[in-house]
């Protein structure tokens, strides 16, 4: 799994990249009450706002961590945003992306580096 | 930057694992490890303990020795019937300014030989200066910095507090008593700001930790932070000073006309005589230019304070603004309050809020979002 400084995680599954937010981020945000997901098929560029989340405290934007196409979204979050708090790196994923070149992830933080980053 | 103040329970909050945040000049617990959502639901299902010691506790002692003189004096600053407030009873009030705006909202209790006011943390210095400027001839005004204030709210609150102070079972909503305990003399009111039955307990600072530990040891009592306090009061349709009410809103616009008893209204025996009476009493008879309403978003997206409201999807100028908004854990949907023009205040009216550049529909609804469970 790879990590960004925006507290997103990326995991390669069947040539696609699954994206979510880290447990640390979910804990800091507090209980999520609303998630607005992008349309499937949308082509996005790195740092474009793709997901809106609202916690009990405030609204935040989730950015695309890399360039690519959104091919699938986790619609279960619409009715049950708390999945993100319960299982941030599992059932709480946000979307899957198709990338032209997976090697763009090579420079991202691994788990050790991310844990150092947040400590 | 001035250092944040700490309540007598600060160390206890830290020990309980609270996340502490600056609030009205104090470092206060916004949530405990349970989290805002579960804390909210717990308070409605069992009992929640809140540290509200940042609020101001102020006594007005009549120089004459007759509490009626303190009541008459206070009536010069608030539009409510203080003189008619019986010993051992409490009432909601607000300080108004000359334009009819609200300087603060507060609770007033008649404690026999004096009045006890509980005012908002963010306003207390201004409130006390206001009281000193206008009431010094009639009252001795003292801020009690040697007392903490704990709210115990929810259906299990009575059983929990009665374990320490059995006489609270006989109290009704807005009753006030004094009880001598090993934590010192407790000043207890059957009130709160969550829409739940419950109590607010003023305790000497020296006894605050002991009282808190004893209450937390009772069945069903958990500590609750400011985060859940906000969603609880909003579900109950209660105003937050600085958000839903302030100097730009009159009690009538805010829908708080019920707090102005008949005796202070036009044709009452003690009509007017408070700051802004002309404006407030006229609005009471002829209507206000805007009114506070409950708002229920159609979708799941919370619509928060500051969000502009529109008559339709295309209208250029807003007809109002949201002043509070959050997700309601008990009603399981988002909820907001805000001000709209009177023609759009009818429950069922569809309006539009502009959220992230999009006009999203919401409906005007009756307040509260969730009915109160007071023991009347």
- Would you say residue B70 has pLDDT above 60? yes
What are the residues facing B271 on neighbouring strands?
none
B154 and B301 both lie in a single domain: no
pLDDT of residue B181: 97
Other beta carbons less than 10 A from residue A40's beta carbon: 13
**Which candidate, B119, B136, B137, B138, places its Cα nearest to that of B127?**
B119
Kindly state whether A36 is in contact with chain B, defined as any CB-CB distance less than 8 angstroms.
yes
d(CA B217, CA B58) in angstroms, rounded, equals 30
Compute the CA torsion angle B80, B81, B87, B88 (nearest 10 deg): -40
Distances (CA, A) of A3 to A66, B27, B51, B343, B370: 12, 33, 39, 52, 42
Report the DSSP pairing between strands B358-365 and B350-355.
antiparallel
| A116 three-class SS | helix
Spatial contact of A35 and A77, defined as CB atoms under 8 Å apart = yes
d(CA B81, CA B265) in angstroms, rounded, equals 10
CATH of residue B333: 2.40.30.110
d(CA B365, CA B360) in angstroms, rounded, equals 16
| Residue at which a domain ends, from B205, B235, B265 | B235
| Residue at which a domain ends, from B192, B208, B235 | B235
Q: Which domain holds residue B370?
A: 289-376
CA angle B122, B125, B127 (to 5 degrees): 90
Contacts of B356 in chain A (CB under 8 A): 52, 59
Kindly report, residue by residue over B133-147, the tens digit of the pLDDT. 999 999 999 999 999
Kindly report, residue by residue over B357-366, the tens digit of the pLDDT. 999 999 999 9
- Would you say residue B212 has pLDDT above 80? yes
pLDDT of residue A57: 83
Query: Within a domain: residue B211?
Result: yes
Report the DSSP pairing between strands B333-340 and B291-297.
antiparallel
CATH of residue B218: 3.30.1360.120
What's the whole-number mean pLDDT along residues B15-33? 96
Other beta carbons less than 10 A from residue B182's beta carbon: 9
Choose the closest CB to A34 out of B35, B36, B302: B302
Query: Within a domain: residue B268?
Result: no
d(CA B289, CA B149) in angstroms, rounded, equals 37
Tokens of B82: 């203080």
What are the residues facing B282 on neighbouring strands?
none
Spatial contact of A67 and A17, defined as CB atoms under 8 Å apart = no
What's the whole-number mean pLDDT along residues B195-216? 98
Residues in chain A: 119
What's the whole-number mean pLDDT along residues B235-244? 98
d(CA A99, CA A101) in angstroms, rounded, equals 5
What are the residues facing B104 on neighbouring strands?
B95
What's the whole-number mean pLDDT along residues B77-97? 98
d(CA A34, CA B299) in angstroms, rounded, equals 10
Contacts of B334 in chain A (CB under 8 A): 33-34
CATH of residue A24: 2.40.50.100
What value does the mean pLDDT of chain A take?
95
d(CA B336, CA B326) in angstroms, rounded, equals 6
pLDDT of residue B1: 57
pLDDT of residue B274: 98
What's the whole-number mean pLDDT along residues B225-251? 98
Compute the CA torsion angle B79, B84, B86, B87 (nearest 10 deg): 70
Query: Within a domain: residue B340?
Result: yes
Tokens of B312: 């339709």
Spatial contact of B291 and B367, defined as CB atoms under 8 Å apart = no
**Chain A 71-110, CB below 8 Å of chain B: which residues?**
78, 82, 85
Q: Alpha helices, DSSP H only, in chain B?
A: 10-15, 36-45, 67-74, 124-135, 157-162, 205-216, 226-235, 277-286
Choose the closest CB to A56 out of B36, B301, B356: B36
Q: Locate tokens 């104090």: which residue? A: B26
Tokens of B280: 């407030």
Please indicate whether, in this complex, the C-beta atoms of B302 and A31 are within 8 angstroms of each other: no
Query: Within a domain: residue B58?
Result: no
- Name the band, by pLDDT with cuts 50, 70 and 90, for residue B2: confident
Query: Within a domain: residue B77?
Result: no
Can you say whether the dihedral through the CA atoms of B290, B292, B298, B299 is positive or negative?
positive
pLDDT of residue B308: 97
| Residue at which a domain ends, from B207, B235, B263 | B235
Query: Within a domain: residue B141?
Result: no
Choose the closest CB to A31 out of B35, B300, B301: B35
| B208 three-class SS | helix
Tokens of A79: 């009715």
pLDDT of residue A26: 95
User: Taking the mean position of all CA atoms in its chain, how far away is CA B50?
Assistant: 13
Contacts of B231 in chain A (CB under 8 A): 56
**Which candidate, B255, B256, B280, B281, places its Cα nearest to that of B339?**
B255
Kindly report, residue by residue over B319-348, the tens digit of the pLDDT. 999 999 999 999 999 999 999 999 999 999
Tokens of B94: 């607000």
Choose the closest CB to A52 out of B227, B326, B356: B356
What's the whole-number mean pLDDT along residues B55-61? 98
Tokens of B292: 């506070």
Contacts of B298 in chain A (CB under 8 A): none
Counted domains in chain A: 1
Tokens of A103: 């090697």
Q: Which domain holds residue A66?
A: 2-101
What's the whole-number mean pLDDT along residues B246-263? 98
What value does the mean pLDDT of chain B take?
97
Report the DSSP pairing between strands A68-73 and A43-44.
antiparallel
pLDDT of residue B269: 97
Show Cβ contacts of residue B74 under 8 Å, excluding neighbours closer than 6 positions: B60, B82, B108, B115, B135, B139
Query: Within a domain: residue A69?
Result: yes
Counted domains in chain B: 2
B201 and B310 both lie in a single domain: no
Residues in chain B: 376
Question: Residue A86: which H helix or E strand, with range?
Answer: helix A83-86
What's the whole-number mean pLDDT along residues B245-259? 98
pLDDT of residue B144: 98
Q: Locate tokens 């009592």: which residue? A: B221
Q: Determine the distance in angstroms separating the CA of B275 from the nearest CA of chain A, rounded to an integer.
A: 36
Number of helices (H) and strands (E), helices first, in chain B? 8, 19
Kindly report, residue by residue over B164-194, the tens digit of the pLDDT. 999 999 999 999 999 999 999 999 999 999 9
């Amino acid at each position: 799994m790879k990590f960004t400084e925006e507290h997103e995680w990326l995991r390669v599954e069947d040539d696609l990249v699954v994206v979510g937010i880290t447990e640390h981020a979910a804990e800091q945000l507090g209980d999520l009450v609303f998630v607005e997901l992008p349309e499937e098929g949308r082509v996005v560029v790195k740092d474009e706002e793709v997901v809106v989340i609202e916690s009990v405290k405030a609204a935040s934007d989730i950015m695309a961590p890399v360039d690519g196409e959104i091919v699938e979204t986790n619609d279960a979050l619409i009715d049950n945003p708390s999945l993100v708090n319960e299982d941030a790196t599992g059932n709480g994923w946000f979307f899957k992306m198709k990338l032209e070149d997976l090697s763009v992830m090579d420079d991202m933080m691994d788990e050790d580096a991310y844990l150092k980053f947040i400590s | 930057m001035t250092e944040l103040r700490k309540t007598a329970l600060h160390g206890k909050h830290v020990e309980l694992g609270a996340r502490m945040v600056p609030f009205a000049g104090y470092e206060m617990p916004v949530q405990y490890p349970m989290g805002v959502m579960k804390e909210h639901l717990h308070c409605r299902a069992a009992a929640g303990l809140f540290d509200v010691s940042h609020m101001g506790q102020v006594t007005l002692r009549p120089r004459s020795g007759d509490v009626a003189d303190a009541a008459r004096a206070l009536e010069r600053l608030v539009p409510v019937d203080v003189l008619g407030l019986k010993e051992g009873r409490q009432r909601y009030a607000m300080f108004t300014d000359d334009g009819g705006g609200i300087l603060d909202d507060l609770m007033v209790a008649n404690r026999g030989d004096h009045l006890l006011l509980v005012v908002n943390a963010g306003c207390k210095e201004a409130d006390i200066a206001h009281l000193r400027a206008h009431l010094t001839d009639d009252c001795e005004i003292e801020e009690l910095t040697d007392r903490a204030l704990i709210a115990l709210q929810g259906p299990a609150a009575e059983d929990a507090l009665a374990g320490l102070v059995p006489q609270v079972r006989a109290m009704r909503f807005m009753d006030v008593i004094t009880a001598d305990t090993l934590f010192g003399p407790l000043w207890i009111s059957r009130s709160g700001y969550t829409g739940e039955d419950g109590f607010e307990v003023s305790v000497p600072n020296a006894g605050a930790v002991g009282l808190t530990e004893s209450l937390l040891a009772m069945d069903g009592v958990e500590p609750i932070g400011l985060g859940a306090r906000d969603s609880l009061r909003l579900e109950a349709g209660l105003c937050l000073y600085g958000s839903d009410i302030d100097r730009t809103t009159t009690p009538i616009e805010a829908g708080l006309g019920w707090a102005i008893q008949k005796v202070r209204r036009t044709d009452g025996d003690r009509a007017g005589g408070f700051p802004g009476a002309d404006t407030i009493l006229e609005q009471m008879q002829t209507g206000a230019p805007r009114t506070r309403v409950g708002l229920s978003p159609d979708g799941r997206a919370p619509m928060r304070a500051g969000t502009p409201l529109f008559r339709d999807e295309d209208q250029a100028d807003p007809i109002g603004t949201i002043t509070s908004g959050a997700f309601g854990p008990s009603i399981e949907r988002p909820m907001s309050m805000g001000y709209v023009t009177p023609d759009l205040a009818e429950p069922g009216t569809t309006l539009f809020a502009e959220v992230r550049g999009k006009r999203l529909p919401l409906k005007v609804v009756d307040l509260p979002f969730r009915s109160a469970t007071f023991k009347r």
